[in-house]
């Protein structure tokens, strides 16, 4: 493990991850048990398929009645296209075809190529952007050109409330930037699980705790810390970056937990994902903060 060479406005921590294709193999049954991306197949039809014994693409019979003559033709054509797209790893196809509220189903396929993202902002100004991706943990501020360059490698985005906060602000700050087609918004995931509230409240409910000097901070405090560091308080910058990176590194285990809980709730015929060891990532946060605030 080592801290990448620093340049103005960005600090990166590189650390090991599991092999990218291991997660994809483990999660293959998840997407192949999905039919919601096929035209005419809604949640009730999909469940009807599962209950009738058609629990994956491979179990769609080549002939005979399934749902109805009109839908059966769409279903078989959609499954054939899906098999081809998955073999090509065209995850963008599934991101566009699935309702965004169902993008969580793609998590096993994309998790090692995803960016777990959280920003702090004052109005439309991005004050700090934190990212955890295949290259490690990074904190960006000021010039976001390096953030933009790094984002081109992402195949998915995982956020908490990013649909209405992080992504719109980044679009305004970076004209021409577009997020990946696959976007798992954990606020939607946990609302579906009837676990409402903000990220900090959710962390407490699942047993994730922050150090005392960060535990009481909220978004308004992040804005105040930004103004304090602009006035020359280096401790304020360090605290702001650390606060943001805690948001970021909690997103991965929260995504995995939410995914597993949704599998149980929906009774989708697929296996759970392993949950990342939060304790193993705490040292990464400390190193990343030190790199961002020398």
Whether 137 shows a pLDDT value over 70: the answer reads yes
Q: Which residue has the higher pLDDT, 276 or 231?
A: 276
Question: How confident is the model at residue 29, as a pLDDT?
Answer: 67
Question: How confident is the model at residue 167, as a pLDDT?
Answer: 97
Complete domains list, the chain, with CATH: 2-20+107-292 (3.30.420), 35-97 (no CATH)
Question: How confident is the model at residue 283, as a pLDDT?
Answer: 67
Q: pTM here?
A: 0.86
Instruction: State the sign of the Cα–Cα–Cα–Cα dihedral 166, 240, 282, 203.
Output: negative
Coil, strand or helix at 205? helix
User: Please, which pLDDT band fits residue 162 given cuts at 50, 70 and 90?
Assistant: very high
Question: How confident is the model at residue 12, as a pLDDT?
Answer: 46
- The whole-angstrom distance between residue 124's C-alpha and the CA centroid of its chain comes to 22
Buried residues in 104-136 as b, exposed as e (16+ CB within 10 A): bbbbbbbbbbbbbbbbbbeeeebbbbbbbbebb
Whether 267 shows a pLDDT value over 90: the answer reads no
What region does 121 belong to: left with phi over 0, alpha with psi -120 to 50, or beta? beta
Residues 103 and 95 sit within 8 Å (Cβ to Cβ):
yes
Calculate what percentage of the chain has a pLDDT beyond 90: 63
Residues 155 and 114 sit within 8 Å (Cβ to Cβ):
yes
Return the minimum-mean-pLDDT range out of 29-33, 157-161, 246-250. Answer: 29-33
Question: How confident is the model at residue 224, as a pLDDT?
Answer: 85
User: Please, which pLDDT band fits residue 217 given cuts at 50, 70 and 90?
Assistant: confident
Q: What helix, strand, coil percent values describe the chain, rounded to 5? A: 55, 15, 35
User: Please, which pLDDT band fits residue 235 given cuts at 50, 70 and 90?
Assistant: confident
């Amino acid at each position: 493990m080592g801290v990448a060479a620093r340049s103005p406005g960005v600090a990166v921590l590189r650390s090991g991850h599991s092999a990218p294709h291991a997660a994809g193999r483990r999660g293959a049954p998840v997407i192949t048990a999905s039919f919601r991306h096929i035209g005419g197949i809604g949640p009730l039809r999909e469940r009807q398929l599962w209950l009738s014994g058609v629990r994956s693409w491979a179990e769609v019979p080549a002939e005979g009645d399934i749902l109805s003559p009109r839908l059966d033709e769409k279903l078989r054509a959609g499954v054939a296209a899906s098999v081809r797209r998955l073999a090509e790893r065209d995850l963008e196809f599934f991101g566009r075809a699935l309702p965004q509220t169902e993008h969580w189903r793609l998590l096993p396929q994309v998790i090692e190529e995803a960016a777990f993202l959280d920003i702090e902002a004052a109005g439309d100004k991005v004050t700090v952007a934190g990212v955890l991706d295949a290259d490690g943990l990074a904190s960006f501020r000021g010039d976001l050109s390096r953030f933009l360059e790094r984002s081109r490698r992402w195949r998915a985005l995982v956020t908490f409330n990013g649909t209405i906060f992080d992504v719109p602000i980044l679009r305004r700050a970076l004209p021409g930037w577009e997020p990946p087609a696959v976007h798992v918004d954990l606020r939607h995931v946990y609302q579906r699980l009837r676990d409402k509230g903000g990220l900090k409240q959710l962390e407490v409910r699942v047993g994730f705790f922050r150090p005392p000097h960060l535990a009481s901070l909220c978004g308004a405090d992040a804005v105040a810390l930004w103004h304090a560091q602009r006035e020359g308080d280096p401790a304020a910058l360090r605290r702001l970056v650390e606060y943001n990176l805690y948001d970021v590194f909690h997103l991965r285990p929260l995504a995995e937990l939410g995914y597993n809980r949704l599998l149980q709730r929906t009774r989708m015929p697929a296996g759970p994902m392993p949950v990342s060891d939060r304790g193993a990532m705490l040292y990464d946060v400390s190193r990343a903060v030190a790199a961002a605030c020398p």
